[in-house]
Amino acid sequence: MSLPSRPAARVPLPLLAVLSAVLLAVLALPALAQDGAPGDPSDPGGEPVTPGSVVTGRLAGDSRIETAVAISQRAFPDGAATAYLANADVTVDAVAGGSLTDGPVLLVPACDLPQVVADELARLAPGEVLALGGTVAVCDDVLAAAGAAAATGGGDPGDGDQPDHLISATAELVDASGDVPFTVSATDPGIAYEGGTSTHLVQATGTDGTIVLDDPRFSGVLRDGDGQLVVTGRGCGPSTEPDGEPTIACTDDFAYVEVEEGETTDFEVTLHTADESVGDAPLLDGTYTLDQPVRWEADATDPTSGDPTAEASAFDDGSATIRVTYTVTSPDGPDVPEEPGTEVVEWATPDGTFRTTGHHDVDLARIEEGIAAGEHIGIPNGVIHRGDGGVNVGHDWHLTDVEIVDVTIEVCDGTAAYVDAHLEDFLEIGRYCPWGAIPIAIER
């Protein structure tokens, strides 16, 4: 088993800090005035600067997150058209976003929206919330929650005076006529407000050659007791009958959908909650099920043409139902975050090993695959603390809140032996993320 090697030399972090301070001091020096230029003391016509005329102060909060909020309040007292989210722990994206001028850059943990940031988004009432970086930097759930928080102050449906709901979605195949040549899954819609909408994806992944589906629309009026959820997909829109009952009208522009083996095709689905277009029935906690019949044809040719082939129009190969189940919970409902596991994982770096624990199921699955294949499966990225923590025996440090990610900044990279030799530097950084680490064992 070969391991990636790391660079032979590294500039010590304290020296980097000194060089950075010198560079900042040089950049802060005022430009040297040319002879005779306005403001040059040698120019009789220039106006001298009066000492003591500058007002000094401080703009800060109790943390970097609250400091970013304080800056936002100072720079955008009347709100902003756009708000940006950047990772609070690894601030590279936030620094790059400093050139943006149409809205503030607010700091958030990767998968958490602090209340102070949610309150600031409600005050700013932006029409657009953008995350800087990928889902490793800012989770999709955080971006969805931030959009919902911004809507409470922006007069969007709900106006903030109705309770919000957390909606999760799962997809499965039922009532199949035979072997189904594709699998299905669904992304979570996130937070929805009464009178508002949210979107998510139903995804089909081919498993056996290229097939053609007969244009699933994913539309319906779903009920659970007195609760109601209206769902629409491609070409469909909601409205209400004269008696106030919701109905869905779909266009007649039939479109075949091609699903290739090993590729994923996305279907965007919109969820509508109580408003004038879908009636007054509220969205209540519960389970809502959408059944979408679908047929497929494996041998169709040119399915995207305006003149479908006989094979494509017949769809003789098979049929099934894609069942999408929505679970709705209120903020104080039974939704409980997953508890981290107690398994201990041993990692090998090009120079030494170390051990971690507290991994979530999704990361443990990747780790097991990596051990079986003897290969790199991602970067273990965690908060570093002094002491072995009862887990990382043989070292004077251990990690908590470990996640398997695909990208990190280089400053937290290093072999296990390098961390041993530069522990104070890594404690100052606050994280350890060995790029070349490979999982080699799990103790359960």
Collect all residues with Cβ–Cβ distance below 8 Å to 270 and sequence separation of at least 6. Answer: 197, 198, 199, 231, 232, 233
DSSP collapsed to 3 states, 22-58: HHHHHHHCCCCCCCCCCCCCCCCCCCCCCCCCCCCCC
Total-model pTM: 0.43
| Tokens coding 275 | 């408003």
CA atoms of 439 and 407, how far apart (whole Å): 17
- Look at strands 438-443 and 397-405 and give their pairing: unpaired
- List the chain pLDDT tens, one digit each, 444 residues: 444 444 444 444 444 443 344 333 333 334 333 343 333 434 444 445 455 567 677 878 888 898 999 899 989 988 888 999 999 888 788 888 788 888 999 999 888 888 889 889 988 988 889 999 888 889 887 888 888 778 765 433 344 344 578 889 999 999 988 889 999 999 888 777 777 788 899 999 999 888 888 889 999 999 998 899 999 998 999 988 888 789 999 988 888 888 999 999 999 999 988 877 888 888 888 999 999 999 988 765 555 554 444 344 566 688 999 999 999 987 654 444 456 778 999 999 999 999 999 998 888 989 999 999 999 999 999 999 999 988 999 999 999 989 898 888 788 999 999 999 999 999 988 899 999 999 999 997
